């Protein structure tokens, strides 16, 4: 009999892993809390942009639904407000795509089922339930996000500098915002106050714009995150428009007042999260183990749009390790694989956590150089899909200087 892998959680991490294991002929069972229709019918939980590497993995999984250029977000526009505001835009070498995860994940789950995968609707609630499942598998992979199973994997204080949420999040899918020119995503940063992201997005109503407000607690963006805004979609939309008017004039110019509003009344989300890295694996008793991936292991703030992209990368890394591994899945296997996964994750965590703080001087000098030189802007934006290169380029002033110099020495296309 071959290896049997149990996977808990049908988010991008669990679904990319399940689809990959199906391709590799490794037996797996996916434990999903919801069926595809339930996934489609809830409110949005996030507004995910998938970069080129994730789209390439999707393609290799035979997920071709989102391949068309109709779903492309090829450009990223940024404005950093301040005494002397900076504006830059860069082209991604491979376009990103922002598709409503309620549609995307339901489709992936249907693909798993359509390809003959074993999917069990079950919701283990704690470590005892998980141990029951673990007894049926050689290894359990927990991809259940930042929900109830997270405490199975204790917080790693050395890798988790935050104790409270550095941002409060509020966002929605809106009609009445024209795409930027050239098309893609926009981000307005107001240092000390927060960020306003606005990717062009594909949802149930076709093309809309996701507006995500990231509010520094206690700052001016807090005005849209009160309980009254959760209960009243129109008040929320008005609050978002007021913030955009004051803090993101370049986005405001694209708003058609007559059309502006939430695409559907439940197309809004509110919340906050504490960026956290947990221990990546746990003993389940009887010699069985569980490995955490995706948000079940590491929660990043959405500021850098990396969590789902990282979950997908981890899924493929785990599948590769399972494909080549011979022998049991003991503590040593889990520990070694978890550290290999950390090598992939660390640049994302370090970069995201750095951007949550006051802008580092070298980051400001990079953004200033990018606003004045398209080659630097393109090199910086390309790194959104290459976290190790991004972290290398911003982690120390001398590296940033070398990155700028190297970009400036390339010839314009």
Ligand X SMILES: Cc1cc2nc3c(=O)[nH]c(=O)nc-3n(C[C@H](O)[C@H](O)[C@H](O)COP(=O)(O)OP(=O)(O)OC[C@H]3O[C@@H](n4cnc5c(N)ncnc54)[C@H](O)[C@@H]3O)c2cc1C
Extended beta strands in 293-372, E state:
298-299
Q: Does 52 bind ligand X (CB under 6 A)?
A: no
6, 14, 261, 387: which one binds ligand X (CB under 6 A): 14
147 binds ligand X (CB under 6 A): yes
Q: Does residue 133 touch ligand X according to CB under 6 A?
A: no
Residue length of the chain = 413
Candidate residues 224, 308, 376, 394; the one interacting with ligand X per rule CB under 6 A: 308
Phi, psi of 28 (to 5 degrees): -145, 155
Q: Is residue 11 part of the contact set for ligand X (CB under 6 A)?
A: yes
Residues forming a β-bridge with 214? 169, 195
* CB contact at 8 A, 356 and 166: yes
Strands (E), 129-205: 139-142, 168-175, 184-190, 194-203
Per-residue burial over 6-31, b if 16 or more Cβ lie within 10 Å, else e, is bbbbbbbbbbbbbbbbbeeebebbbb
Q: Which of 176, 180, 184, 311 binds ligand X (CB under 6 A)?
A: 311
Is residue 305 part of the contact set for ligand X (CB under 6 A)? yes
Minimum CB distance to ligand X, residue 344 (Å): 14
Q: How many of the chain's residues bind ligand X (CB under 6 A)?
A: 36
Query: Dihedral angle at the C-alpha atoms of 143, 149, 151, 155, nearest 10 degrees?
Result: 20
Q: Which of 102, 101, 243 is nearest to 168 (CA)?
A: 243
Q: How far is it, in rounded angstroms, from Cα 380 to Cα 105?
A: 30
Min separation Cβ 361 and ligand X, Å: 27
- Measured distance CA(201)–CA(211) in Å, rounded: 10
User: Nearest distance from residue 116's CB to ligand X, in Å?
Assistant: 21
Q: Which of 180, 239, 275, 307 binds ligand X (CB under 6 A)?
A: 307
Could you tell me if 171 and 161 are in contact, meaning their C-beta atoms sit under 8 angstroms apart? no
347 is a contact residue toward ligand X (CB under 6 A): no
Q: Which of 48, 168, 379, 381 binds ligand X (CB under 6 A)?
A: 48
Q: Are 351 and 391 in contact (CB under 8 A)?
A: yes
Residue 410 Cβ vs ligand X, minimum distance, rounded to whole Å: 28
Return the residue of 5, 78, 140, 143 that touches ligand X, per CB under 6 A.
143
Contact call for residue 225 and ligand X (CB under 6 A):
no
Range in contact with ligand X (rule: CB under 6 A) among 17-25, 240-248, 303-311, 374-382 = 303-311
Q: How far is CA 256 from CA 111, 186, 199, 260, in A?
A: 38, 17, 17, 6
The interface region with ligand X, picked from 63-71, 246-254, 300-308, 350-358 by CB under 6 A, is 300-308
* Tokens coding 395: 């982690």
With respect to ligand X, which residue has the nearer C-beta, 356 or 376?
A: 356
Residue showing tokens 């502006």: 260
Distance CA 193, CA 191 (A): 5
Stretch that binds ligand X, among 121-129, 216-224, 323-331, 396-404 (CB under 6 A): 121-129
Determine which residue in the list 61, 119, 141, 144 makes contact with ligand X, applying CB under 6 A. 144
Identity of the residue, 10 or 131, whose beta carbon is nearer to ligand X in the bound complex: 10
| Pattern 81-120, ligand X, x by CB under 6 A | ----------------------------------------
Q: Does 267 bind ligand X (CB under 6 A)?
A: no
User: Under the criterion CB under 6 A, does residue 8 sit at the interface with ligand X?
Assistant: yes
Provide the binding-site residues for ligand X, judged by CB under 6 A: 8-14, 31-34, 46-49, 123-125, 143-145, 147-149, 169, 171, 212, 294-295, 302, 305-309, 311
């Amino acid at each position: 009999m071959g290896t049997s892998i149990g996977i808990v959680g049908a988010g991008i991490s669990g679904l990319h892993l399940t689809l990959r294991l199906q391709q590799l002929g490794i037996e797996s069972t996916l434990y999903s809390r919801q069926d595809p229709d339930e996934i489609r019918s809830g409110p949005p939980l996030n507004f995910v942009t998938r970069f080129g590497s994730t789209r390439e993995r999707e393609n290799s999984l035979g997920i071709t639904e989102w391949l068309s250029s109709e779903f492309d977000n090829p450009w990223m526009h940024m404005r950093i407000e301040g005494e002397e505001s900076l504006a830059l835009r860069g082209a991604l070498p491979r376009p990103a795509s922002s598709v409503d995860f309620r549609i995307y994940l339901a489709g992936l789950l249907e693909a798993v089922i359509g390809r003959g995968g074993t999917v069990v609707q079950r919701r283990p609630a704690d470590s005892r339930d998980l141990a029951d499942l673990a007894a049926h598998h050689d290894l359990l992979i927990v991809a259940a996000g930042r929900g109830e199973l997270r405490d199975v994997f204790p917080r790693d204080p050395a890798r988790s500098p935050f104790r409270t949420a550095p941002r409060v999040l509020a966002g929605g899918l809106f009609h009445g915002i024209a795409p930027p020119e050239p098309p893609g995503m926009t981000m307005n940063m107001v240092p000390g106050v927060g960020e306003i992201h606005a990717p062009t997005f594909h949802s149930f109503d076709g093309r809309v714009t996701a507006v995500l407000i990231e509010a520094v607690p206690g700052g001016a963006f807090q005005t849209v995150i009160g309980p009254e805004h959760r209960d009243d979609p129109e008040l929320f939309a008005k609050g978002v428009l007021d913030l955009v008017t004051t803090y993101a004039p370049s986005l405001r110019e694209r708003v058609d007042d007559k059309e502006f509003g939430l695409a559907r009344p439940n197309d809004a989300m509110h919340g906050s999260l504490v960026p956290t890295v947990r221990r990546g694996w746990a003993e389940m008793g009887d010699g069985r183990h569980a490995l955490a991936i995706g948000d079940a292991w590491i929660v990043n703030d959405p500021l850098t749009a990396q969590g789902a992209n990282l979950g997908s990368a981890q899924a493929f890394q785990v599948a590769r390790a399972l494909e080549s591994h011979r022998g049991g899945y003991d503590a040593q296997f889990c520990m070694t694989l978890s550290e290999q996964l950390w090598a992939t994750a660390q640049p994302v965590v370090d970069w995201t956590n750095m951007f949550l703080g006051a802008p580092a001087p070298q980051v400001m000098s990079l953004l200033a150089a990018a606003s004045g030189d398209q080659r630097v802007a393109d090199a910086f934006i390309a790194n959104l899909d290459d976290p190790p290169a991004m972290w290398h380029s911003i982690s120390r002033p001398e590296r940033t200087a070398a990155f700028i110099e190297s970009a400036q020495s390339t010839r314009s296309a």
